[in-house]
Amino acid sequence: MKNLFYIFIGGGLGSVLRFLISSYTQKLWNINSFPMGTFVVNMIGCFLIGVLTSYFIRVDNYLKFLLITGFCGGFTTFSTFSAESYSLWQSGHYPILIFYVLLSVMVGLAAVYLGLQIIKN
Protein backbone atom coordinates (compact mmCIF):
# COMPACT_ATOMS: atom_id res chain seq x y z
CA MET A 1 0.00 0.00 0.00
CA LYS A 2 2.90 2.32 0.77
CA ASN A 3 4.27 1.83 -2.77
CA LEU A 4 0.91 2.89 -4.25
CA PHE A 5 1.13 6.14 -2.27
CA TYR A 6 4.60 6.86 -3.70
CA ILE A 7 3.38 6.09 -7.23
CA PHE A 8 0.38 8.39 -6.69
CA ILE A 9 2.52 11.30 -5.47
CA GLY A 10 5.17 10.84 -8.17
CA GLY A 11 2.53 10.54 -10.91
CA GLY A 12 0.86 13.76 -9.85
CA LEU A 13 4.14 15.66 -9.76
CA GLY A 14 5.19 14.22 -13.13
CA SER A 15 1.88 15.17 -14.75
CA VAL A 16 2.03 18.75 -13.50
CA LEU A 17 5.65 19.13 -14.59
CA ARG A 18 4.80 17.64 -18.01
CA PHE A 19 2.09 20.26 -18.47
CA LEU A 20 4.35 23.14 -17.41
CA ILE A 21 7.37 22.13 -19.49
CA SER A 22 5.30 21.19 -22.53
CA SER A 23 3.31 24.44 -22.47
CA TYR A 24 6.37 26.63 -21.96
CA THR A 25 8.40 24.82 -24.62
CA GLN A 26 5.59 24.99 -27.16
CA LYS A 27 5.27 28.75 -26.64
CA LEU A 28 9.04 29.22 -26.81
CA TRP A 29 9.62 27.11 -29.94
CA ASN A 30 6.47 27.09 -32.03
CA ILE A 31 7.86 25.50 -35.21
CA ASN A 32 5.32 24.93 -37.99
CA SER A 33 2.84 23.08 -35.75
CA PHE A 34 5.49 20.52 -34.74
CA PRO A 35 4.57 19.34 -31.22
CA MET A 36 7.87 20.52 -29.75
CA GLY A 37 6.53 20.61 -26.18
CA THR A 38 5.56 16.95 -26.24
CA PHE A 39 8.77 16.00 -28.02
CA VAL A 40 10.94 17.75 -25.42
CA VAL A 41 9.03 16.17 -22.53
CA ASN A 42 9.31 12.72 -24.11
CA MET A 43 13.06 13.05 -24.62
CA ILE A 44 13.61 14.33 -21.07
CA GLY A 45 11.49 11.46 -19.78
CA CYS A 46 13.52 8.92 -21.77
CA PHE A 47 16.76 10.32 -20.37
CA LEU A 48 15.40 10.33 -16.81
CA ILE A 49 14.08 6.78 -16.94
CA GLY A 50 17.46 5.63 -18.26
CA VAL A 51 19.37 7.34 -15.46
CA LEU A 52 16.92 6.27 -12.75
CA THR A 53 16.66 2.67 -13.93
CA SER A 54 20.44 2.39 -14.07
CA TYR A 55 20.69 3.67 -10.50
CA PHE A 56 17.85 1.61 -9.04
CA ILE A 57 19.17 -1.65 -10.52
CA ARG A 58 21.82 -1.41 -7.79
CA VAL A 59 19.64 0.15 -5.07
CA ASP A 60 16.21 -1.24 -4.27
CA ASN A 61 14.01 1.07 -2.24
CA TYR A 62 10.74 3.02 -2.28
CA LEU A 63 12.23 5.82 -4.39
CA LYS A 64 12.00 3.66 -7.53
CA PHE A 65 8.21 3.66 -7.13
CA LEU A 66 8.13 7.41 -6.55
CA LEU A 67 10.55 8.36 -9.33
CA ILE A 68 10.33 5.67 -12.04
CA THR A 69 6.79 4.29 -11.89
CA GLY A 70 5.19 7.43 -10.48
CA PHE A 71 7.10 10.47 -11.71
CA CYS A 72 8.29 9.15 -15.07
CA GLY A 73 4.94 7.43 -15.63
CA GLY A 74 3.09 10.68 -14.96
CA PHE A 75 5.62 12.75 -16.86
CA THR A 76 5.47 10.61 -20.00
CA THR A 77 4.50 7.03 -20.82
CA PHE A 78 6.72 7.38 -23.87
CA SER A 79 9.70 6.94 -21.56
CA THR A 80 8.38 3.57 -20.43
CA PHE A 81 7.67 2.55 -24.02
CA SER A 82 11.22 3.52 -24.98
CA ALA A 83 12.78 1.74 -21.99
CA GLU A 84 10.85 -1.44 -22.78
CA SER A 85 11.86 -1.20 -26.43
CA TYR A 86 15.50 -0.76 -25.45
CA SER A 87 15.27 -3.77 -23.16
CA LEU A 88 13.92 -5.89 -26.03
CA TRP A 89 16.76 -4.63 -28.24
CA GLN A 90 19.39 -5.35 -25.59
CA SER A 91 18.14 -8.88 -25.06
CA GLY A 92 18.18 -9.56 -28.80
CA HIS A 93 14.43 -9.94 -29.24
CA TYR A 94 14.50 -7.99 -32.50
CA PRO A 95 11.32 -9.39 -34.10
CA ILE A 96 9.35 -8.67 -30.92
CA LEU A 97 10.90 -5.19 -30.74
CA ILE A 98 9.88 -4.35 -34.30
CA PHE A 99 6.42 -5.81 -33.75
CA TYR A 100 5.98 -3.91 -30.47
CA VAL A 101 7.07 -0.55 -31.90
CA LEU A 102 5.05 -0.82 -35.10
CA LEU A 103 1.99 -2.23 -33.37
CA SER A 104 2.10 0.43 -30.65
CA VAL A 105 2.27 3.28 -33.15
CA MET A 106 -0.27 1.85 -35.61
CA VAL A 107 -2.81 0.68 -33.03
CA GLY A 108 -2.31 3.89 -31.03
CA LEU A 109 -3.10 6.04 -34.07
CA ALA A 110 -6.04 3.81 -34.98
CA ALA A 111 -7.39 4.00 -31.41
CA VAL A 112 -7.22 7.81 -31.44
CA TYR A 113 -8.96 7.89 -34.81
CA LEU A 114 -11.65 5.45 -33.61
CA GLY A 115 -12.22 7.44 -30.44
CA LEU A 116 -12.58 10.65 -32.45
CA GLN A 117 -15.01 9.00 -34.89
CA ILE A 118 -17.18 7.51 -32.14
CA ILE A 119 -17.62 10.86 -30.45
CA LYS A 120 -18.06 12.71 -33.75
CA ASN A 121 -21.01 10.53 -34.79
Binding-site entries for Na(+): 73, 76
Binding site residue list: 73, 76
Question: In angstroms, rounded to a whole number, what is the distance separating the alpha carbons of residues 116 and 113?
Answer: 5
* CB-based contacts of 23, cutoff 8 Å, min separation 6: 37
Question: In angstroms, rounded to a whole number, what is the distance separating the alpha carbons of residues 72 and 41?
Answer: 10
- Cα 56 to Cα 16, 52, 62, 75, 80: the distances in Å are 24, 6, 10, 18, 15
- Cα 91 to Cα 3, 6, 97: the distances in Å are 28, 30, 10
DSSP state of 33: T
